[in-house]
Chain A
Amino acid sequence: EDQVTQSPEALRLQEGESSSLNCSYTVSGLRGLFWYRQDPGKGPEFLFTLYSAGEEKEKERLKATLTKKESFLHITAPKPEDSATYLCAVQPITQGGSEKLVFGKGTKLTVNP
């Protein structure tokens, strides 16, 4: 069964204190791994797609990396506006070609000024 586990469930940082969020996954075949950001009361906002082990992508203070078993979202010198829940999802290779995503439960990040 395809599964995604995110850790920690919650993370509190001081402004400027860098850290990493973890997403470990088990999937029969991986078409892509996605990172989203979700603010309270809103839908998930797309951040990154990673396709193969060794791939890295960056956007402002965020950097996502991928291995064969896990992905990390590194946050460098975070600001209070980075506070949100970060969701990781995998898109498995399926025989039927379904495009569905399998999500983890998310990491709730709070950055204090």
Chain B
Amino acid sequence: GAGVSQSPSNKVTEKGKDVELRCDPISGHTALYWYRQSLGQGLEFLIYFQGNSAPDKSGLPSDRFSAERTGGSVSTLTIQRTQQEDSAVYLCASSLALRQGRTDTQYFGPGTRLTVL
């Protein structure tokens, strides 16, 4: 079946502009995650959704970052007033996670490469 998809694949923006990144999880997956991968750094957790609610937002680096999920499916990560340090690859993952606390494999999308000039 189809995997996790993300759009756009690349986004170049100017400092101070807002951007929206989209994630379509695997059909039927209830959990959705956003991570960020900066050059030379490991993947950094941003936020976790179970259904439409976000029990863990602890990784969002500032209040310029927000995310929502609608219909238990598509999620959008929004970065307001972008800064150069926001340049990174933003990765989305999804998992079945039918029962909270159960360990399920997270399947990743191809990522969105964000460049802030």
Contact = CB atoms under 8 A, between A and B. Distances in A.
A92 B43 CA distance: 15
A43 B91 CA distance: 7
A105 B41 contact: yes
Most central of B43, B48, B104 by chain A CB within 10 Å: B43
Most central of A31, A41, A49, A100 by chain B CB within 10 Å: A100
Given A43-B91, A103-B43, A91 B100 contact: no
Contacts of A104: 42
A98 B48 contact: yes
B33 A99 contact: yes
Contacts of B44: 103
Contacts of A97: 55, 100-101
B45 A91 contact: no
B5 to A, nearest CB: 10
Q: How large is the interface on B (under 10, 10 to 19, 20 to 34, 35 or more residues)?
A: 20 to 34
A101 B103 CA distance: 11
Q: How large is the interface on A (under 10, 10 to 19, 20 to 34, 35 or more residues)?
A: 20 to 34
A101 B43 contact: yes
A81 B110 CA distance: 19
A99 B97 contact: yes
A43 B101 contact: no
B109 A102 contact: no
A49 B106 CA distance: 10
Nearest to B41: A105
Given A100-B58, A102-B45, 15 more contacts: A4-B42, A43-B110, A46-B107, A89-B43, A94-B56, A97-B55, A97-B100, A98-B56, A99-B104, A101-B45, A103-B43, A104-B42, A105-B40, A105-B41, A106-B42
